[in-house]
Amino acid sequence: MKLLGLLVVLGVGSWAAGDDSEPRKEPSQRLLTFLSLFNGYFSSAKEVKAEKAELGYPVHDVINATFRNVFVPALPNEITFYLEEEDNGVVYRMQILVIREDELGIIRIAPYNFTDTTKYKPGQFDVTKDLENVRLEELSPTRPDCEIVFMQTDVNVFVGTFPDCTRWVDGGHPKYAFTLSCRTITALVYWGKSREKDSLLPYDHRKIVSYPLLPYVAPGAENFKPPCNCS
Ligand SMILES: *[C@@H]1O[C@H](CO)[C@@H](O)[C@H](O)[C@H]1NC(C)=O
Ligand SMILES: *[C@@H]1O[C@H](CO)[C@@H](O)[C@H](O)[C@H]1NC(C)=O
């Protein structure tokens, strides 16, 4: 009896060792679809090129954005993405996004600042090597009103609000309406003037590169394909 008691205690002790946050539950199909649509390198260059050709001048800026599934050793139990956004070649936002789905199926994303954007040129930050050195205490949570939220509105469509927490306008952050679908992320500035050229039409960020999800996200995640009719 005594030995059995000791074994039980040891077993529980080693399960909890070094891990004080709750283990994550398996992601739903909805979350996997969201993550795989979101996982890519996007650019509005095509839209800008078409505007120059048709009108002789651009209505939008060239915005290139990376939203990429990464593993952050400092956040081993979270699904994380690396975000890097560039406006005409200047990196203006680098964040770590912690992505969860709530009990209503709403995708909730907490952005964390972790480094100084001015130190980097587009594409210079190495998501495999450089994230290893990011420590928990360097991840600074942004304000609660920086939360990014998405809801699913159709098979491959997610619509949400994405505040620009790097800017302040009239006591608040500019807010983008994002629509994420198979080939694009469209982003409309719907409140507050943000960094880029103002336009009543959304920025149309085409997916240039699609990244696979990482195996830690779920068993077989690296082979997960969203139910799109496109490749
Ligand atoms: C943005 O992406 C487009 C399309 O891939 C590319 O042609 C352009 O050079 C990129 N711009 C910058 C500043 O990286
Ligand atoms: C996060 O970084 C941006 C600059 O990229 C800055 O404007 C913002 O105030 C920072 N937020 C916090 C909470 O540190």
Q: Average pLDDT over the chain, rounded to whole? A: 87
Q: Which pLDDT tens digit goes with each residue over 78-97? A: 999 999 999 878 998 999 99
- Are 53 and 212 contacting, i.e. CB atoms less than 8 angstroms apart? no
**Of the given ranges (29-33, 114-118, 156-160), which has the lowest mean pLDDT?**
114-118
Q: Is 117 in the pocket of ligand 2 (CB under 6 A)?
A: yes
The predicted model gives 202-209 an average pLDDT of 95
Counting atoms of ligand 2 from 1, which one is nearest the CA of 142?
A: 13
Counting atoms of ligand 1 from 1, which one is nearest the CA of 122?
A: 14
Q: Is 214 in the pocket of ligand 1 (CB under 6 A)?
A: no
Q: What is the pLDDT of residue 206?
A: 97
Q: Ligand 2 center to residue 144 CA distance, Å? A: 13
Q: What percent of the chain has pLDDT over 90?
A: 67
Counting atoms of ligand 2 from 1, which one is nearest the CA of 94?
A: 5
The predicted model gives 132-150 an average pLDDT of 90
Dihedral of CA atoms 151, 154, 156, 162 in degrees, nearest 10, equals -30
Tell me: pLDDT of 13 over 60.
no
The predicted model gives 111-119 an average pLDDT of 91
Q: What is the pLDDT of residue 220?
A: 94
Tell me: pLDDT of 192 over 80.
yes
Mutate to test the pocket of ligand 2, among 165, 169, 195 (most ligand atoms within 8 A of CB): 165
**C-alpha closest to that of 221 among 230, 209, 231, 211:** 211
- pTM for this structure? 0.87
